[in-house]
Structure 1
Amino acid sequence: MLKDNHNRPINYLRLAVTDRCNLRCFYCMPEHGIDWLSRTELMSYEEMLRICALLVRNGISKIRITGGEPFVRKDIMPFIAALSQLRELQELTMTTNGVLTAPHVPELKKYGIRSVNLSIDTLDRERFFAITRRDELPAVLHTLEELLRHGIEVKLNAVVMEGRNTQDILPLVQLTKDLPVSVRFIEEMPFNGSGELHATGWDHVRILNTIRDGYAGVQKVADPPYSTSYNYHIPGHKGNVGIIAAYTRSFCGTCNRIRITPQGMLKTCLYDNGVLNIRDLMRGGSADEEVMEHVLHALVHRARNGHEAEKSAVHGSMAAIGG
C-alpha cells in the first residue's frame, strides 16, 4: 500500500479526463475568457491508462473519473471500459453534471460503475440557470432517474452559496425521503478561476443547523473510513444526508486521495499547485519504474493538510484542477 510522510494510506485516485465543461457554474469558472487546454496538452487515453495501471499495481484500489465534465470528451466510454479491466482495481466511480450522461447509464452499469456523484445545486429551474448559466435541469433530473433505475448508487452534490441556493437545502434533503440517495452539501471553495472566494457564512455547522431546523429528528450515523463528509439520517427516509467541510478542511487528517489533472499534473492535495508532471515524464521516455519513483518522492513530501498546501498555491478553475 502507498503511504505518505504522515503515515496516511493512499489508495484513491481522482483522475480528471478534461478541463472542458458544458456548464458554466459561477463558483467553478468564469462565464467567458476561458483558456481551454489544447489536445496536445491533455493526456491521451493511452497515457491515462498507463498511469492508472501503474498506480493500481502499486496500491490504488479506487479511481474516480472527473473533469471538467467527463462526457464532453470524445470516446470516454471505451476508456472507461479499458479501466474496468484493470484486475487489481476494486472500485471505479464517476462525477458528472448529468447533462449528457443519461444515454450512457446502461454502459456504465455494464462496466461496473457502482456509484456516481451527480452535481445538482438546486431543484429550481430558474436558480439552476442562474448558477450554471445553462438551462439543463431537466437533463440532470433525467440522468438521476436513469441511474436509480439501473441500480447505481447516487450521491447528489450541492455547493451551498449565500444568496444563491440556501433555500434549496431543505428541498434537497426532502429527496432522501423517497429516494435511496445521499444528498451531500459542500462548503464553497475558492476555485472559480478568479482566485477569490465568494463571501459566505455557510460552513458545515450552519448547514447542519439549517437541516435540523427542518428535520428535528436528524441523527448522526457512522462515517465510512476516509470519509470527507459528516453523515446523517432522518428516521423514515430511504436516503442519507452528508455535509462536506471542503473549505474548513476538517477531514485532512485522514485524506487517502491524490489527483491527476487533465494535463497530467499530480496533486497530493486539492489545495496545492501540483507537485509532479507525470505526462511530461512519460512523454520524455521514462519507464514505469522511474515514473513510480517520482510519485513516491512526491508522496513523502506531502503537505500535512490543505491549509499548509495552499500557502504557496494560486487557485484556478475547478474544471482545470479536477473535481
Structure 2
Amino acid sequence: MTDIMSLIDQYNRQIKYVRISVTDRCDLRCFYCMPKGFDGYEEPENWLSFDEIEQVIASFTRLGVSSVRLTGGEPLLRKNLPDLAKRLSALPGLDDLSLSTNATRLAKHAEALYESGISRINVSLDTVDPVKFKDITQGKLDKIIDGLLAAKAAGLSPIKINMVVMKGVNDEDVEDMVEFCLKHDFTLRFIETMPVGDTGRNAADHYIDLQKIETRLAKRYELIPAVMAGAGPARYVQIANTQFKIGFITPISQHFCDTCNRVRLSASGTLYMCLGDEHKFELRPLLRQGISDDDLDEVIKKAIDLKPYKHEFNEKPEKVIRFMSMTGG
C-alpha cells in the first residue's frame, strides 16, 4: 500500500488537487478558448471511461489528493455525469468534489449533481449583458441564468462565477457583475486572460492587470481582506458589512507557481503538469493495457517529477500550442 501524503514534486510542492476533463466538447464558442469553426474533437472512444477515471482518481487519493474538479470542455455534455460523480465522491480521502460548467445544461442536471456528491460549482460567465454574451460565446444568456438559479435552488453552495476580464470587451461590465452576484449570493472571481494556444494569444490584446480592477472597485465599495475555502489560487476580498466575496486569479501579473498544488487530466487520459507548459504524461495506453493499482501509483509519482517550477506565459507566450478546451479548464 502506498504511503498517504506522498505526492510531492521535485520543488517540494504537495499535489492535492486534480482537474479532470471528462470531454473536450463544448456547446459555446468563447473566442478566447476555442478557434472559430473548430471541430477537431477527440472521438468518444478515446475518452477515458468512467472505470478508467475512477482508477486514476483512486490512485491520486491514495497519494494524498483530496480535491477533484470535473471540467471540460463542457462536462455536462458527457452522458450520465452524475453517475461518475457518485462513484468518485465515495472514494476514501476525497474530501472535495466540485464542477466547472458553462451552465447551459445546469437547469436540467442541478438536483442530480447535488445528490451525486458535488457540493459546489464554478460557472464561467463573462457578462450579464445578453448582447455581449452572444458576441463572446455565440450562446444565449437566459439559459445560463436559468441554470444558476436552478443550482441555487438545488442547494449547491458556494456558486462561484468566473469572469475573464478583457479590455475593450467586458471590462465595463465589472460593476454590473458585482451587483448581479451580490443580489443572488454568488461569489465573483475575476480572471486574467492567459495565452494558452492561438485563441488565448489572440485574446492577449485584451489583457488587463486585475490590480487595476481591484483599485477601481475600491473606489466604489469598501473592500476588506477575506478568505474562502477551496483548492484553487484565488485571493479574496469582501465588501464590508456583507458576506459577499470577490476573488482575483492573477496568473500573469502575480503568478502563484510557488504554491501550485494541481495537475490536469484530459478527456483522453493525458496528464498535464502545468497549464503553461507542454510537459505531459499519457496514462490511457497504460490503463488499457491493464496496469495494476500499485504500478499506477508509481507511474503517477514519476509523472509528477515532470511538473515545471513555473509557467512561462510572460517569457514564451508561444510555448503552449494546445488550447484551453483540450487541456481541461
TM range (shorter): over 0.9
**Sequence identity, in percent?**
33
The residue number in structure 1 matching 2:36 is 31
The residue number in structure 1 matching 2:324 is 318
Q: TM-score, normalised by structure 2?
A: 0.91
- Cα displacement (A) at 1:101: 1.1
- Cα displacement (A) at 1:194: 4.0
Relative to 1, partners in 2 of residues 1:74 and 1:309: Cα closer, same or farther, differing over 3 Å? farther
Q: TM-score, normalised by structure 1?
A: 0.93
Post-superposition Cα deviations, 1:167-226, rounded to whole Å, max 9, x if no partner, equal 1101111134333221001001123544624213411212212222332x1122246586
Determine if contact 2:21/2:328 at 8 Å carries over to the other structure.
yes
Q: 1:104 aligns with which of 109, 117, 124?
A: 109
Post-superposition Cα deviations, 1:86-135, rounded to whole Å, max 9, x if no partner, equal 1321111000000001121111221221110011100000000000012x
The residue number in structure 2 matching 1:187 is 192
Relative to 1, partners in 2 of residues 1:314 and 1:18: Cα closer, same or farther, differing over 3 Å? same
Out of 219-228 and 196-205, give the one that drifted further: 219-228
Q: 1:50 aligns with which of 34, 51, 55?
A: 55
The residue number in structure 2 matching 1:125 is 130
- Cα displacement (A) at 1:151: 2.5
Determine if contact 1:249/1:306 at 8 Å carries over to the other structure.
no
Amino acid at match of 1:315: I
Where structure 1 has 5 or more consecutive residues not aligned to the other structure, the ranges are none
Give the distance between the partners of 2:254 and 2:310, measured in 1 at CA.
8
Give the distance between the partners of 1:116 and 1:266, measured in 2 at CA.
23
Q: 2:210 aligns with which of 204, 207, 212?
A: 204
Q: Kindly report the root-mean-square deviation, in angstroms, between the aligned alpha carbons of the 2 structures.
A: 2.1
SS in 1 for 2:122: strand
The residue number in structure 1 matching 2:143 is 139
The residue number in structure 2 matching 1:295 is 300
Determine if contact 1:26/1:192 at 8 Å carries over to the other structure.
no
Out of 274-283 and 302-311, give the one that drifted further: 302-311
Determine if contact 2:160/2:189 at 8 Å carries over to the other structure.
yes
Give the distance between the partners of 2:53 and 2:224, measured in 1 at CA.
41
Relative to 1, partners in 2 of residues 1:77 and 1:56: Cα closer, same or farther, differing over 3 Å? same
Determine if contact 1:29/1:191 at 8 Å carries over to the other structure.
no
- Cα displacement (A) at 1:309: 11
Once the two structures are superposed, the pairs formed by residues 52-91 of structure 1 within 5 Å of their partners are 52-91=57-96
SS in 1 for 2:100: strand
Post-superposition Cα deviations, 1:14-60, rounded to whole Å, max 9, x if no partner, equal 00000000000001001203301112221122211111112112211
Where structure 2 has 5 or more consecutive residues not aligned to the other structure, the ranges are none
**What is the number of equivalent residue pairs in this alignment?**
321
Give the distance between the partners of 1:309 and 1:262, measured in 2 at CA.
28
Post-superposition Cα deviations, 1:122-157, rounded to whole Å, max 9, x if no partner, equal 0000000000012x2111111111222233210000
The residue number in structure 2 matching 1:233 is 238
Amino acid at match of 1:132: T
- Cα displacement (A) at 1:249: 5.0
Amino acid at match of 2:328: G
Determine if contact 1:185/1:243 at 8 Å carries over to the other structure.
yes
